[in-house]
Amino acid sequence: SMKRFGFVDQVVDYLKEAGVETKLIEGVEPDPSVETVFKGAEVMRDFEPDWIIAMGGGSPIDAAKAMWIFYEHPETTFDDDPFTVPPLRNKAKFLAIPSTSGTATEVTAFSVITDYSSGIKYPLADFEITPDIAIVDPALAETMPPKLTSYTGMDALTHAIEGYITRAAWALTDALHIKAIEIIAGALRGSVAGDSQAGEAMALGQYVAGMGFSNVGLGLVHGMAHPLGAFYNTPHGVAN
Ligand code: FE
């Protein structure tokens, strides 16, 4: 959809104008696989980018984060400690442009990659994979179908509530989560109905939630939503 609505061309044109050479890596599936990650990392090792620009929903941005790890450290494996990523930014920095208002992956330390052959979901969690820059433009999410807007919006609301009630929560993250709940509760219905002001509020609310839960993690709702969502083939936000 990023291509269909002209957003990819727009970014590539801006970069061309600035004299930046680019290479597109496309076709990341929902719930990205280890194979997609390895393939993308190989393209990166060949092209040697200084910047990785990830654009789209949670899946392509999560996939690009993992590609980044294997681009800079080809010797890494998914069986290594998922909470310790080797130091990045020796080769590239990372810019994320989200197209949905929900996962907040553009501001979090998380990425989820699926190994379909073993049925394992790898949750990567380390501040190394937090993007250097996030461009949150609500115009991108506005092109999403209402169903997807409601699913991703419920994901954002779940992040805010779970981050608020998790045992690691404290005053600073409470401030972010309470504000996020307030913004999302006031905007979720309107954003699904296509109200662009509500859509703008959702883009902000999910981001504020991400700033919170990236610091304290989530809880058992997400702990159950990932495996059950995969088992029943249920969209992540609905599974929450
Ligand atoms: Fe989530």
Note the pLDDT tens digit of each residue in 182-224: 999 999 999 999 999 999 999 999 999 999 999 999 999 999 9
Residue type present at position 169: A
At 22, the pLDDT band (50, 70, 90 cuts) reads very high
For residue 104, which phi and psi values (nearest 5 degrees)?
60, 20
> For residue 228, is pLDDT > 90?
no
Expressed in angstroms and rounded, the spacing between residue 20 Cα and the centre of ligand 1 is: 34
Please state which of the ranges 1-5, 66-70, 227-231, 235-239 shows the lowest mean pLDDT: 227-231
112 has which bridge partners?
Answer: 123
Expressed in angstroms and rounded, the spacing between residue 218 Cα and the centre of ligand 1 is: 9
Expressed in angstroms and rounded, the spacing between residue 222 Cα and the centre of ligand 1 is: 6
Q: What is the pTM of this model?
A: 0.95
Mean pLDDT value of segment 155-182 = 97
Expressed in angstroms and rounded, the spacing between residue 57 Cα and the centre of ligand 1 is: 12
The pLDDT value given to residue 227: 85
Average pLDDT, the chain: 95
Expressed in angstroms and rounded, the spacing between residue 226 Cα and the centre of ligand 1 is: 8
Expressed in angstroms and rounded, the spacing between residue 146 Cα and the centre of ligand 1 is: 18
Percent of the chain whose predicted confidence (pLDDT) is above 90:
89
At 25, the pLDDT band (50, 70, 90 cuts) reads very high
Expressed in angstroms and rounded, the spacing between residue 115 Cα and the centre of ligand 1 is: 19
Note the pLDDT tens digit of each residue in 28-85: 998 899 999 999 999 999 999 999 999 999 999 999 999 999 999 999 999 888 889 9
> For residue 154, is pLDDT > 90?
yes
Can you tell me the distance from the alpha carbon of 96 to that of 179, in angstroms, rounded to the nearest whole number? 23
Can you tell me the distance from the alpha carbon of 15 to that of 79, in angstroms, rounded to the nearest whole number? 36
Expressed in angstroms and rounded, the spacing between residue 109 Cα and the centre of ligand 1 is: 13
Can you tell me the distance from the alpha carbon of 70 to that of 137, in angstroms, rounded to the nearest whole number? 28
Expressed in angstroms and rounded, the spacing between residue 105 Cα and the centre of ligand 1 is: 9
Expressed in angstroms and rounded, the spacing between residue 118 Cα and the centre of ligand 1 is: 22
The pLDDT value given to residue 182: 98
The pLDDT value given to residue 177: 98
Which residues fall within 8 angstroms of residue 145, CB to CB, at 6 or more apart?
none
